[in-house]
Structure 1
């Protein structure tokens, strides 16, 4: 699907049903998408459209809770709990949990917001399905680099539910400022009706990402660039207010390891590709981005060992 008349405005499409062990073409296409764009659209992912619809409805219901109730959704790490509208992003609020693969984290989230049995059932079903998709994508991204690994299965997968309060007065303003994601990859269930998401292409231009019901957009973050020894792009993106309408999105992000340092695997380091970044823990990198106020991947340059 294109989002403009220019060829460079075509976000790559990855069909999950086309992969098999003997077909290298789809892994080559995935690698090209990761290296040239840092984002791609996923189709035929086996997550039912009905579940995606129900999940959006549950998210809408949770945002309708009183503000004092939403504030019970506290951080496990900075940014993993409730974010109220603020000076930088006045039209945006967000709910979240640190690890959707953790029954304890899910249970705590349900308790914080006093979720109903139905809401819990939908959230649990969605969390399981999206976590499986995230791990599958992690494996395929590793395989397209010639690696076979279950590395990402122990990394937390953060869930963020986002609401944008767009009104006639906010049209033309920012919903969320330009940033790259801190972690490895983010699977976005975008609003199927209301656009506004934009990704930066290789030319430095922002490309509008039009809604496409039943699909997911995948963004690669700073950890993906570090892990791939600079081969993958950590795509910069933003949300702009294009119309007067409430907009929702649901983002599920494989972050980084809870323990140990992140670095490129030895298979991705050689004389032609020297190690670009010094090893660092995910928590230290997250704090570096935060304290230096580097929201678009500049913090990676502070870790550079080779130009």
Structure 2
């Protein structure tokens, strides 16, 4: 099945894009953005830096490891034998990126590139949050102070792995994810909300991909679609991606704002914290959003 034309949102064309943005969140759960303000040169530099860091010896990368999966270095394992990653769990926390770079003995160029990119994509996340609430006719803050996980991924594809899965089917646990996918190597596939069919999400150079996650569905009282997706190996060459996961509030509970709840749209989920939800997903082994069913309002 050929890649379909997923929604493309122009970040410099609001409020005219407001209706299209909300429709993309509701009907697709993912969309691409253009005119996002991050220079193409910085996107390219960040990809090169990510590749160079993930090419470091394992012993060096392990200096960033953490007991919590996703907080630091994640080596290939039985569940993801073709995938390894490096990241910072709360990249906006003062000194977090510098500490990460210190562990890896990063060069000044690598450090500067990561700092520039992480600041730019974090600011973009805040802008997307603002566009979402404004497009829904609300005057509230969204994403302010929320942890945002920065992640660099390397898929170890070769001619022997063609047809295998690089990242198994899942939804993202947080609110939304900003992805710089590989502009050359494809493989990302999403489940179509209406038909249930797998749709190839082909690269579109210069754009960024936005995925809606489980917390986005909860916050929107079921309006936003938490898209299921996976990454396949379609060609025998290394694939890179860089992601910013907008997770959830550090301590406050996640719940739909009053503006999205009424007699016709009763509250669908009980309030809960992101950390409790993350642990529930892991303990119940429900990576595709099924854990939300355990938190349905009675």
TM-score (norm 2): 0.97
Give the number of aligned pairs.
Answer: 297
2:6 is aligned to 11
Question: Contact (CA 8 Å) 1:181, 1:221: kept in 2 or not?
Answer: yes
C-alpha spacing 1:78/1:89, structure 2 compared with 1 (3 Å): closer
The question of 1:72 aligning with 2:24 is answered no
Question: Contact (CA 8 Å) 1:3, 1:209: kept in 2 or not?
Answer: no
Report the CA distance between 1:76 and its aligned residue: 7.2
Question: Contact (CA 8 Å) 2:65, 2:74: kept in 1 or not?
Answer: no
C-alpha spacing 1:292/1:161, structure 2 compared with 1 (3 Å): same
2:82 is aligned to 91
Structure 1 unpaired stretches of 5+: none
| Aligned partner (choices 30, 35, 43) of residue 39 of structure 1 | 30
Q: How does 1:1-307 map to 2 (within 5 A)?
A: 4=3, 9-19=4-14, 23=15, 25-75=16-66, 77-202=68-193, 203-306=195-298
Structure 2 unpaired stretches of 5+: none
What is the alpha-carbon distance in structure 2 between the residues aligned to residue 123 and residue 103 of structure 1?
14
What is the alpha-carbon distance in structure 2 between the residues aligned to residue 76 and residue 51 of structure 1?
31
Report the CA distance between 1:148 and its aligned residue: 2.1
TM-score (norm 1): 0.94
What is the alpha-carbon distance in structure 2 between the residues aligned to residue 91 and residue 28 of structure 1?
39
Question: Contact (CA 8 Å) 1:77, 1:98: kept in 2 or not?
Answer: no
What is the alpha-carbon distance in structure 2 between the residues aligned to residue 158 and residue 257 of structure 1?
12
What is the alpha-carbon distance in structure 1 between the residues aligned to residue 71 and residue 198 of structure 2?
27
Question: Contact (CA 8 Å) 1:193, 1:211: kept in 2 or not?
Answer: yes
Query: For residues 52-103 of structure 1, what are the alpha-carbon distances to aligned partners after superposition, in whole Å with 9 as ceiling and x for unaligned?
Result: 0000110011011110111111237432211111111111101110122223
Partner SS, residue 66 of structure 2: coil
What is the alpha-carbon distance in structure 1 between the residues aligned to residue 56 and residue 147 of structure 2?
27
Query: For residues 166-212 of structure 1, what are the alpha-carbon distances to aligned partners after superposition, in whole Å with 9 as ceiling and x for unaligned?
Result: 11111001000000000011000011110001111121111111111
Question: Contact (CA 8 Å) 2:133, 2:142: kept in 1 or not?
Answer: no
Report the CA distance between 1:3 and its aligned residue: 5.2
**4+ residue runs of structure 1 moved beyond 6 angstroms?**
none
